[in-house]
Amino acid sequence: MADVRRPRFSIVDPVVTGWKIAKKSRDSIATMAANHGVSASEFVELMAAHVESTVPPGGTLPWMPEKKRDGELPIDSA
């Protein structure tokens, strides 16, 4: 399968991310993008826009794992 590339200069304010992700996740994103005929970067941007549009009031996503609170004392909300 050939790489799908965006047209030159089609990204506003492009940046190179410094993230490291598992190869399996990267390959999964690349496959899904190719299946839809877009580049991996465009797929990630579309995915981010979709997630932003579904964030419920309060700003937390119900499917995100809860942050570990080891070593924190509970605070009573009286």
The 10s digit of each residue's pLDDT in 18-68 is: 999 999 999 999 999 999 999 999 999 999 999 989 888 778 888 888 888
User: How many residues belong to the chain?
Assistant: 78
Does a structural domain hold residue 78? Answer: no
Query: How much is the pTM?
Result: 0.72
Say yes or no to pLDDT of 69 above 90: no
Does a structural domain hold residue 29? Answer: yes
- 66 sits in the region (left: phi over 0; alpha: psi -120 to 50; else beta) called beta
Cβ atoms < 10 Å from Cβ of 45? 14
Q: Helices then strands (H, E): number in the chain?
A: 2, 0
Does a structural domain hold residue 36? Answer: yes
Range of the domain at 36: 23-54
Does a structural domain hold residue 42? Answer: yes
Q: What pLDDT shows up at residue 28?
A: 97
The Cα 61–Cα 51 span in angstroms is: 9
Does a structural domain hold residue 43? Answer: yes
Count of the separate structural domains present in the chain: 1
Does a structural domain hold residue 27? Answer: yes
Does a structural domain hold residue 2? Answer: no
Say yes or no to pLDDT of 1 above 60: no
**Band of the pLDDT at 6, cuts 50, 70, 90?**
confident
